[in-house]
Structure 1
């Protein structure tokens, strides 16, 4: 993805390393690859205008948000543009975030809404999208993609099953797909998904239930 410049001289700065959010012993989220700050501390520093703190947050979230956008949009270019725009919006609106602990749900809210806007615009324009060859690997990080130890028959069957899931998932209404992806692939809780999508908790439960039903019907041949 194109590196986001958020202000200040970040080009040529030292590599910050892996900044994936990790829970500490007390359950607080921490970002590795820098001082032992909790995520809320990085958010607070970024809210005060510290570009290096925001860069930590970008590095921590860009991969998983890209997987979200790629999964929903099925198009690498649009996914990259959408996440780039997401971080620009986050940087501009970060001072308005009242609770630093809500940052994760808030950034997912912005990214999800922008993805849904792209899908709605695409539906009006009826445009075609292009998947990259590595669509599966980019969007299904929890799925083992190294099938070198499998027999050719097993590898073919696995690939066909994954493709079938992709096809069925693509037929779901956008809102159902978004809720299912956020829950199943990004481990967001129902309240977090409600916040991310801007709908009541009961609506989230209903959409995920219907998505599961539709996916089960579509994948019935694989049972």
Structure 2
């Protein structure tokens, strides 16, 4: 019988034999997607894709914010404002720099605006920030007190730096970013970034001389 048609979906056969399956292909979760795909989806209005991007970067962004601002509550506020701003502006991201660089730029700008507005003078927190490895050693009470005092002195010294030097120093020394990336984040030339970090290092070395 020529041109006979079989109604219904084709039967699924053993894997590897090229027989199509009636079951739909599984859609990968957003957590399994690469960053470029997530950005494209977010630019198409996928809120969940943007939330996944935020989840991947929020610890590092918060770490920078809390070091620049010196206050965890302020850092949380700055980070939330930055994420809202990033969602509104996601369509402007063109990929000239890494997405993380783009996010660092938004967060540091928010932090800088907050520093200028509030003129905060409190010392930076002395903890190691989110995700810091625990120290299994048990120092003596005397050594623990000495370390605490030194960290408090360093926090005060970093907090006293001009905001441009503090931001550049935090991004370089605490986040390990390169000069070129810091330049993209701050909007300052690479030579200016190097100068800021050099001056910050000199100021911190002078203020911490008593601890050497």
Instruction: Classify the TM-score, shorter chain.
Output: 0.7 to 0.9
Q: For the Cα contact (< 8 Å) 2:59–2:130, is it kept in 1?
A: no
- 2:206 pairs with 1:217: yes
- 2:146 pairs with 1:150: no
How far the C-alpha of 1:109 sits from its partner, in A, is: 0.4
Structure 1 residue ranges, 4+ long, deviating more than 4 angstroms after superposition: 127-131
1:72-83 correspondence runs (5 A): 72-83=68-79
Q: Which has the larger radius of gyration?
A: 2
1:50-89 correspondence runs (5 A): 50-89=46-85
Mean Cα displacement is larger for which, 203-212 or 47-56? Answer: 47-56
Q: For the Cα contact (< 8 Å) 2:42–2:49, is it kept in 1?
A: yes
TM-score normalized with structure 1 length? 0.75
**Given the alignment, which residue of 197, 208, 213 partners 2:197?**
208
Unaligned runs of 5+ in 1: 1-31
- 2:196 pairs with 1:199: no
Secondary structure class of the residue paired with 2:177: coil
Residues 69/201 of structure 1: CA separation in 2 closer, same or farther (3 Å cut): same
Aligned match of 2:129? 139
- 2:106 pairs with 1:106: no
- 2:161 pairs with 1:164: no
Q: For the Cα contact (< 8 Å) 2:78–2:110, is it kept in 1?
A: yes
The number of equivalent residue pairs is: 184
Unaligned runs of 5+ in 2: 1-28
Q: For the Cα contact (< 8 Å) 2:123–2:159, is it kept in 1?
A: no
1:172-204 CA distance string (max 9 Å, x none): 111000000011111221111111111111000
Q: For the Cα contact (< 8 Å) 2:121–2:160, is it kept in 1?
A: no
How far the C-alpha of 1:33 sits from its partner, in A, is: 8.1
TM-score normalized with structure 2 length? 0.79
Q: For the Cα contact (< 8 Å) 2:70–2:122, is it kept in 1?
A: yes
1:175-186 correspondence runs (5 A): 175-186=164-175
Mean Cα displacement is larger for which, 148-157 or 199-208? Answer: 148-157
